[in-house]
Structure 1
Amino acid sequence: MTGTVLVTYGTTNGSTAQIATAVADVLREHGLTAETRPARSVESVRSYDAVVAGAGLYAGRWHKDARRFLRRHRRDLAQRPLWLFSSGPLDPSASERDVPPVPGVQKAMARLDARGHVTFGGRLEEGAGGWVARMLLRNGKGGDFRDFTAVGTWAARVADELTRV
């Protein structure tokens, strides 16, 4: 593949955007052209040869911008290679074991014939927006549980699939 990969994301406090940027960086290191954009700003995916879409998990659901992205572009997404990632567990579980996609993402994977999914740890730090985030922080549930080595390993596997002849 010599075309462009869209790496898009839904996020509230920026943690998932940083993961998406790391994924795009690895794709570029493997010789691919990758563009990172917030899901709500993507008007069309037709100019992309493949898509990686990710979202932060909130109360067991993907961020609304990413859910809307999948719905809005479902026909075009079903016609190109697609990978999904989630970020969210505020504990080390995502680094310790394979965390399956939440039910809504499982359905989207089947409907869109996605090639894969991974769940990465999330980040919640002081200053995060939203009352739920503030409540979690008050209860000591904050921290940064993202594993950028795991992000890089997964993104390299995506790149390998895309560049395989």
Structure 2
Amino acid sequence: MRVLVTAASRHGGTAEIGSRVAAELIARGHEVEVVDPAQVKTLDGFNAVVLGSAVYTGHWLPAAREFASTFAADLAKRPVWLFSSGLATAPAAAANSPAETRAVMTAVGARGHRAFGGRLDHEVLNLAERAIIAAARGRDGDHRDMAAVEEWAGQISGELARTAIPA
């Protein structure tokens, strides 16, 4: 199965989640390409897509939203999974599952959405981001559960194995 993994990431933490998903899918026998959503030109040749985004101020990043909008018709023709990464201290909170993900899920027929905690390093944030994180009382540190990411990727792989999908 040929899978595109694409994740919008501001400071690299969400991209690393996407890379971990890709590595697990590769380990389970899938051919995977990891591409930034802004760089994707076509979905031709991909059997499935995993799309993710960091969540800032309760929203996916523009690159992920634009990807979903631009490729909605093509995404609806293949299995799609979504993931979000945000507010490092609240991995399952509604803040990591913005309302727009429900709209994207419906538009592309996504098979699921998973929210993960994020990585927070105040040193790499700009002034506006620091203010937002201070108001949300975000704690520095890597709060991503990579074992949960790998488990989720394994579930995706299992579902792909049970699905006959034309390229």
What is the CA distance between 1:140 and its match in structure 2?
5.7
Counterpart CA distance in 2 for 1:131 and 1:106 is: 30
Work out whether 1:33 is the aligned partner of 2:1: no
For 1:102, the equivalent position in structure 2 comes to 98
What is the CA distance between 1:134 and its match in structure 2?
2.6
What's the Cα RMSD here?
1.9
* Among 107, 112, 119, the residue aligned to 1:111: 107
TM-score, with structure 2 as normaliser: 0.88
Distance 1:127 1:113, change over 3 A: same
Structure 2 counterpart SS, 1:127: helix
What is the CA distance between 1:127 and its match in structure 2?
2.9
* Among 10, 23, 26, the residue aligned to 1:12: 10
For 2:77, the equivalent position in structure 1 comes to 79
* Among 33, 42, 45, the residue aligned to 2:43: 45
Gaps of 5+ in 2: none
Cα shift readout 1:31-77 (whole Å, capped 9, x = no counterpart) = 10111111111011122110000000000000110000000111100
For 1:131, the equivalent position in structure 2 comes to 127
Structure 2 counterpart SS, 1:146: coil
Counterpart CA distance in 2 for 1:115 and 1:157 is: 11
Q: Counterpart of 1:22 in structure 2: which amino acid?
A: R
- Equivalent positions of 1:60-79 (< 5 A) are 60-79=58-77
TM-score, with structure 1 as normaliser: 0.90
What is the CA distance between 1:137 and its match in structure 2?
6.0
What is the CA distance between 1:98 and its match in structure 2?
7.1
Distance 1:27 1:98, change over 3 A: farther
Is the 1:126–1:137 Cα contact (8 Å) retained in structure 2?
A: no
Q: Counterpart of 1:41 in structure 2: which amino acid?
A: Q
Work out whether 1:24 is the aligned partner of 2:12: no
Counterpart CA distance in 1 for 2:101 and 2:85 is: 12
More displaced 10-residue stretch of structure 1: 56-65 or 97-106: 97-106
Tell me which stretches of 4 or more aligned residues in structure 1 moved more than 4 Å: 97-100, 137-140
More displaced 10-residue stretch of structure 1: 125-134 or 142-151: 125-134
Counterpart CA distance in 2 for 1:98 and 1:161 is: 26
Q: Counterpart of 1:85 in structure 2: which amino acid?
A: F
Q: Counterpart of 1:61 in structure 2: which amino acid?
A: H
What is the CA distance between 1:113 and its match in structure 2?
0.8
